[in-house]
Structure 1
Amino acid sequence: MHLKRSAAVGLCALSLALCVPSRAVIQNGTLLHFEAMNNASFATCQGSRAEFCVRTCCEKGENVISRKCAPSSTDWAPTFLNQTTTANLEIIGGFIQECKFGYQLKTLSFHIDESTKYLLSSSGELEVQTAENTFALGFNYCFFNLEVNDQILESVRSCVKISVPQVAGLPSIDSVPSVSVRKCCPPDQMMGVSKDALVCVNRSSPWRPAVIHSYPTQLAQLPAEKTNISDPGKFKCPNGTSMQFLIPSASKDAFFLMSNGNILLARYNLSIKPGLFCLDDLRNPTSAPQPFATVCHTMPKQRTPKQLEAHCTDEVCVQKCCAAGFRLHNSQCVPTTLRWKPTFYEGERLFRGQVAHKVLYGQINCDDGEIHVFNGSRSATPLLQKNGGLRVNGTVYTFGVHRCCIDSGSIQNLPASLNSPGHTLAFCCQPHDKEAELMEIVKKILLIMSSICLFVMLAIYMLVPCLRNIHGKCLMSHAAALFAAFFFTVYNQIVPVEEGPSCDALGENNATVLYYFHSCIEVISSNADG
């Protein structure tokens, strides 16, 4: 299977970011803060006879639908508990409350990280284990259950203390006159999500970004008198860069505004200069806004196959789609901590010898053809050959040297098994076949001419009564069926219909009109015999 290249970057992670965890429980109209709760009171679920308790971000009987808590007939049963435990489980609806300064909303889910495990004690305390950390959340959590197509995507929300990276040489906030920062939206607005698109929406409170400063590095709110908002609401990524959206709660990419005006992507120790990012808040339908950033990463220059050949005369060259330290997400390059190394094949077999090669960076310039994306599924696995070419296992596609770039990455909306950051993707340029394109044009012209002739013949037979005998009616039926089939065929070639209901309907129409013709022939023939 291969996918057409798309520049659209999905916003699925935003849906998982728009619920703030509760720090309290409502039971019979009484607000019980965690500080006032003890294990015994939670163990008995505030008076119920259940052996286990678990907290949800929405009220009991509600799930998150379209980024808001809403009543639902789809009941949630924790997937990490066995049936015996679930039968003795009390689900308590949460109370949405914002995280205090110095803490951030954290999303923990095996839909984001497959290594995530939930450990629930009978007291109701929760521990979440990931490949990198163990979070002892205690009672400070709620389960955020996102309902999509009658299925529930389970994740945990909690206020987690922000780990401030230590950066040497940062000036103290007291020693700088101001910190200049680009705001993504105008001063009286902030970011919001509408129909899976980012838009600017009104806000009621002033924007106060957090900033790290001094050494040892500390986190503080930037004073209003030292906040210099430059050119708000007009941010666009420069040409030759790749855009990335950052939400600390929905990804591992925590970012920090520094007192020198740069931002730091802590996971990658990557500093982004002014002009390549904007900051703002992201509106949350149920609670306080969350920090949000748009970051522009410099992309390697695209090269045509002929330009690549000039760089590789006597050695095997491998084209990596993104720069070193970056990987693909859809068609965009984003930072990564994974180290990339090409794997070579001989046909479909892994080549275990050493291949002397040179790595070039940048995607293929395909002005003379069409880009195909191979996602590494079993039916379309890109295999880098030891001569630098690429073979797509399970398909008829074979690409010569300098026709593909290859990298690790992920594509949104693919299954998790195909979407790990280290998964192999290939972007390949298929040159246009000029002879085949000419034949397609001739075919369309002939089909259009045939449709016109069939329509004219059908009109003549309808206007001349003496032609409408048994044989004439058979011919009219045949002409009508062929005209409809030709019309839909020409329409599909001029206005391509993607696979799906529309394509199925088009095929059914063609089949129906041809079946109609043969049915008419049988009816007319039987009448003639009678």
Structure 2
Amino acid sequence: MWFPVYVCYFLVTVAAAGDFFSNGEPTVFRKCCPRQHSLVKVVTDHYKHFDCLDRLSLAQTYNISYSPLIISDERFVTVDYGLPILCDGINMIVSAVDLEAKLSTSLNICYDRLVAEVSNGTLMPYIPQTIGLTCINNETETKSESALQINHVRKCCKKGQVFSARYHVCVDSGDNDEQWIVDRLNLTDSYVYEVDIGLQCKSDEYAVELRQRDYTFSVDKNVLIATNRNDRSKTDSLMKGEWCMDQGYDMEDMVAKICTRNCATFNAFCVRKCCPEGYHYKVRRCNSLVSSCVPNVDEQNYFQPMYYLEPLRNDHFGLTDIMGIRTNLECPDGKFVLNRSDPRDNHRLTAEGLLESSISLTSDYCIEMFDRRHCPENDVISSTVLCFIAAEKIKDFRVAFVINSISSVCLALTLIVYCALPELRNLHGQTLICHVSMMLLAYSCLARVQYSPVFDKLTCKLLGNLYPQLLYKLVK
């Protein structure tokens, strides 16, 4: 009686396994280096080869730190480690791996992250990337592809650090690494991820900080999908290079930083920070706010402009729950700092993120922490930096005045000569006398207004109207 049941169970199991191995099969991934190791290309005058080094060895040998490839567990991906067999560095072709390309399962190729290139003992400038190493000894081997792809994710902070949404900076916190990010995304399929550190938004973009308490996060290959918990219709997709994720400080929630030009899309309150992330201003000269950007050394240096944010939080509930930070302020004509202790420099932030002061209402400003602990004030304050407004350029007409005056003198001499000599006062001479007289009057008016401003309104109108009318008559 149980035999038919066993047969059915066996057939269902076989069918499920067949479906798993045909669609979600534990794909073979050919990795050049052992787990947690990355590739280093070493070139000398006589040969080249590839070394496999772990993160600690990279830091000790070359003073660099890059994360290795992160691979899903053995239920989904079977990893074969090692370079192509019987193939030295000379017979290997290096090719960049497109993030959308299908990976080969051939024994003649392996994949890994090339993080450094060393030439004759010198570390060369190099941008890490995932590459394929192909041996050219056996070009007749049949090429086979898997459904596996190299995907990309960015961790906001380096290993051992998490992101503090309160201070908007990375802070030390144990042994947090890239694997934590991938694990928290609950990826259950086969995957291979390369991980980069940090987020570089464009100069006109803000880095908006989204918390897991406000948004749900999911990743589809290289795309981050962020959905507002209070309004599920508000879903945004961020492409590769536009986002990073990390663990939040003092909490298990995740924090995502995304690059955007429109803070209103995420209901974010956005401000501009003067120094790069992790830096603050240190006063160079006491009794002034002339400063330079220096790295943070303790929590007092962290970006916390409460002087500006507290009034907004009291007047507008929830306004600053989601913050966006943009760094640097380009001022072609120089910068100056508003002195909070001077009533003439009274200023505040508006709910729209603009700076309102006695001289302007502008978005061209930045806020920073000023460390004065080495000065008599012995404190750290936040203040605002504005751009100098370029002085209006006033045209200098002195050269034109001199030239027009010389022309007027020549015209006057010509007029005197024609009026003094009777033989020149024929019909042609009288016509020329009229023409020269009008030109002399016109040039005299022009020279006067170029000499200095005419403050009398009647004289100014007379000179301004007389000059074009005389020119019109001369041309006519």
Q: State if a TM-score over 0.5 links the two structures.
A: no
Highest relative contact order (Cα 8 Å, sep 6+), 1 or 2? 1
TM-score (norm 2): 0.29
